[in-house]
Amino acid sequence: MNKKLHVLVIPSWYPDNKDDFKGSFFREQSLGVLKQGCDVGVIFPDLKSLRGLKKVRLFPKIHFENDEGMRTFRMLWNNWFPKMRPLQILFFKILGLILFKRYVKEFGKPDIIHCHSVMMGGWLTEKISDKYKIPFVITEHNSLFFQGHYEKYYTKISEICNKSSLCLSVSTDYSQLLEKTIPNSPQWIPHNNIVSPKFLTTNFRKKDKDPFVFLSISNLSKHKNVPLVLKSFKKFNKKYPKSKLNIIGVGLEESSLKTLKEKLEIKNVYFLGKKTRNQIVQEFNKSNVFVLGTKYETFGVVLIESLSMGVPVIVTDCGGSYDIMNNEVGRVTKQNDIEDMYNSMIDVYNKYDEFKPQNLRDYSNSKFSEEKLTNTLIKHYEKILTKS
């Protein structure tokens, strides 16, 4: 294509700032496309939960930000209907259309729209595409499809996905699940999330084995299955008493997990709370192994962040890990199997010197770098626009 490709991103959720993990992969991928020479904008109806708000906003307000060259419009308002999904979708569409008109007035009509997650952004994307004849791409990330959470919306979701010029999902296993779950589903093509350049460029160091430090990072929710990590580490710590387990994250299960730690009388377990990206990088540099007990993942960005920092990974057989893991970078354990995870901990400990940090980083960079994956994405865009 001769002219500069103009991409508009419509996410279903989005980070509040560069240190916010929520939807960080949407932002980072979009910035990656920008760095490869495309014009990129974002519109996002930012409907905040009323829970915990210090200030309730009575009327919506448009907020513009130049985010490292990426033109970002938000409609700041409250989610007045937390348990009424149809009304949430309606207001997401109404506010999103206002943002789109404002965006086009200032920056022109985009060539293509990239919707991240069909629920809620798909409804807005479809409306804009139908009205303004702009092709669109969907990337699905939402782990709630694992739980059948959106079953009542499957017919509409199927309709939107079949209008999309291309349906991408963040892993091979997740593509297969979506094809089975969504009725009359189009084909879903795997396109992995990128690893932030921060994890590929920060200096790392090989850690001593004494003390041997495990790191786990996740939202402290039930499906992350942190109890599996705690119980497996208890067995490891009994054999190696100086070993440590650091847990980063917050969530609804935090209190019960701390209670479980006390009940099991596990030593050297530390709950570190919420950390920024820079702080997480520092924690990787203090750790020997990353461990995750999750029940399911659409992909697992934190796994490739760990590898990029030269830290091997132990993770459960959770679907998303299939595109990442092999025996050269860590171990995959059975679901909810304490003995199997413990054995993997022992195995990685015994073979720790075989996991060369630079080899782990090189592996992550070769598969998940910003440049590699965004160039592939741009080729998809160009192919779609050539056909249209």
**Tens-binned pLDDT, residue by residue, of the chain (388 aa):** 457 999 999 999 999 888 787 888 899 999 999 999 999 999 999 998 877 667 778 889 999 999 999 999 999 998 888 888 899 999 999 999 999 999 999 999 999 999 999 999 999 999 999 999 999 999 999 988 887 778 899 999 999 999 999 999 999 999 999 999 999 999 999 999 999 999 999 999 878 999 999 999 999 999 999 999 999 999 999 999 999 999 999 999 999 999 999 999 999 999 999 999 899 999 999 999 999 999 999 999 999 999 999 999 999 999 889 999 999 999 999 999 999 999 999 999 999 999 999 999 999 999 999 999 999 999 999 999 998 7
Q: What are the E-state strand segments in 50-96?
A: 61-67, 70-79
Let me know whether 298 and 165 are in one domain. no
Q: Are residues 375 and 359 in the same domain?
A: no
Looking at the structure, tell me whether residues 143 and 125 fall in a common domain: yes
- The pLDDT tens digits of the residues spanning 9-66 come to 999 999 988 878 788 889 999 999 999 999 999 999 999 887 766 777 888 999 999 9
List, for residues 243-255, the tens digit of each pLDDT value.
999 999 999 999 9
In a domain, 135, yes or no: yes
pTM of the model as a whole: 0.93
Claim to verify: residue 207 and residue 176 sit in the same structural domain: no
Cα–Cα nearest to 77, from 66, 85, 94, 67: 94
In total, how many domains does the chain have?
2
Does any domain span residue 1? Answer: no
**In this structure, are 209 and 177 located in the same domain?**
no
Dist CA 386 CA 384 (whole Å): 5
Q: State which residues form the domain around 83.
A: 6-194+369-387
Task: For residues 360 and 375, state if they share a domain.
Answer: no
Same domain, 137 and 127: yes
Q: Are residues 95 and 239 in the same domain?
A: no
Co-location of 129 and 217 in the same domain:
no
Here the CATH number for the domain that contains residue 260 is 3.40.50.2000
| The two structure tokens encoding residue 309 | 């920092």
Asked if residue 257 is part of any domain, the answer here is yes
Task: Please report the pLDDT score of residue 57 as a whole number.
Answer: 81
Tokens standing for residue 207: 């850690």
Q: Cis link prior to 11 (omega < 30° from 0)?
A: no
Asked if the structure places residue 311 within a domain, the reply is yes
What pLDDT does 56 receive? 77
